[in-house]
Amino acid sequence: MSILVVGGAPQDLELMKTILSAVPGWNVVTAQSGAEALRALARGRVDLVLADLMAPGLDGLDLCRHIGNCSGLGHIPLVVLLAAAERGYLGQVYEAGACDYIMKPMDPVEVVARVRSVLRTKEEVNRRKAHENQLETRNRELQAVNHELLQLSLIDAVTGVANRRHFDEMMDRAWRSAARHQFEIALIVMDIDFFKGYNDRWGHPAGDDCLRRVATELAAGLLRPDDFLGRYGGEEFAVILPRTDLPGAAFVADRLRSNVESLGILHPASPAGGYVTISQGLACAVPMPASAPSSLIALADEALYEAKRSGRNKLCSGRAHKSTCPVLRQSNPINGHAVS
C-alpha cells in the first residue's frame, strides 16, 4: 500500500513517516507542500493521502477537494491531521470529502489503527466496484446474446428474411394500427410456381438457394421502411404494405413479380415459362374495429389460388364484400380483377 503524507511541521512529518513505515507492506512517501503532493499524485498510484490541515501551499481541505474533483485520480481516501485547536474545522473537513481525521499529538497505535481501517474500507470499495464492473460487463454480454437469440428466433434460417412467427406478430401489429387509425392496409401472398418440380429436378440444396435468391429480390423490391416481407411457409412469401391502397399495392406486387422473373433462374419443369416465377394474391382493406387480420389473409389466399388456377406468374386481387366479410371495409378498387 502506498501512503502519501503531506505537509505540517517537519517533526510531525517525520514522526508520521516513522510510525507508518513500521507497518509491513506500507510504502510511505512524503511531500512538504500541497503542490509537491499534486506532483506525487500525478506520478503514480497512491492508496491513501494523510494531509496536515495547515499544509503550506495547498492545505488539507483544498487538497481533499482537488482529489474529489479530479476523476483521473480515482477513489483516493484522505485523512486530515488536526491540532487540538483546529477541532472547529471538523465540519469543513468532512464537507470537503475527508473520510477520517487524526488529532495531534499523535498516538502511534491510533494512527496505525485509523489508517488501517481506511485502507480496509478502500479495499472493500475497490472489490465491490470490480464486482459491479464485472456484473455490468456480464449483463451487457448477456443482453447482446439475448438480442442475437431473439433475432435468430425471428429470422428464417434458409432465406434470411422474417420467419412465420415474426410475420404473424408484425401482421397483427400493422392490422391493429390500421384499425385504430382507419387507414388502408394491403397484403400480398406469393407462391413460387411449381417449386416441387424445381426441387425434384435440381435437388433440395439448389431449392434452398432458389428460395434465398427469390427472398433477396423480394426484399430489394420493397422501398419503404414500413413494408414488411416474411417467409409464409414452404415456397410462400408474404408482404405487408401499411397505408397502401389497392392500386399502389398492385404496382408494388407487379414490380416484385417482374423482378423475380428477371432473375432468370432456369426451371424447365415449370409450364409457366421455363424460369422461376411467382403467383400472387393481393387483398387490401380498411379494418373495422375489433376485427382480425385472418380475414384479410383469407382474401389474399383466395386471390392467390385464383392466380394459380388462371395460369400462374400473375397477380390476382381479392375483394372485400360486406356480406361475406363484415369486419372489412373495401378499399379503392382497381380496374379489372387481375393484374398480369
Tell me the pLDDT tens digit for each residue of 268-292.
Answer: 989 988 999 999 999 999 998 888 9
Give the helix/strand (H/E) hosting 188: strand 185-192
Q: Is the pLDDT of residue 315 over 50?
A: yes
Q: Characterize the bridge pairing of strands 185-192 and 236-242.
A: antiparallel
The length of the chain in residues reads 340
Exposure string of 33-47, with b = 16+ CB inside 10 Å and e = fewer, is bbebbbebbeeeebb
In terms of pLDDT, which residue wins out, 327 or 256? 256
Q: What is the pLDDT of residues 215-253, one digit of tens each?
A: 999 999 999 999 999 999 999 999 999 999 999 999 999
Instruction: Please report the domains of the chain, with CATH numbers, ordered by start residue.
Output: 2-129 (3.40.50.2300), 164-339 (3.30.70.270)
Report yes or no: 318 and 339 within 8 Å, Cβ to Cβ.
Answer: no
Q: How far apart are CA 126 and CA 30, in angstroms?
A: 24
Give the helix/strand (H/E) hosting 31: strand 27-31
Residue 281, CA distances (Å) to 72, 114, 164, 304, 329 in order: 65, 82, 18, 4, 18
Instruction: List the grid coordinates of 246.
Output: 389497392
Max avg pLDDT among 72-81, 120-129, 229-238, 325-334: 229-238
pLDDT at residue 74, rounded to an integer: 63
CA 147 to chain centre: 7
3-state secondary structure 215-273: HHHHHHCCCCCCCEEEEEECCEEEEEEECCCHHHHHHHHHHHHHHHHHCCCECCCCCCC
Q: How far apart are CA 228 and CA 188, in angstroms?
A: 10
pTM of the model: 0.60
Q: How far apart are CA 15 and CA 26, in angstroms?
A: 15
pLDDT at residue 242, rounded to an integer: 97
Give the pLDDT band (50/70/90) at residue 320.
low
Q: How far apart are CA 185 and CA 130, in angstroms?
A: 53
pLDDT at residue 334, rounded to an integer: 43
Write out the DSSP string of 200-216. HHH-HHHHHHHHHHHHH
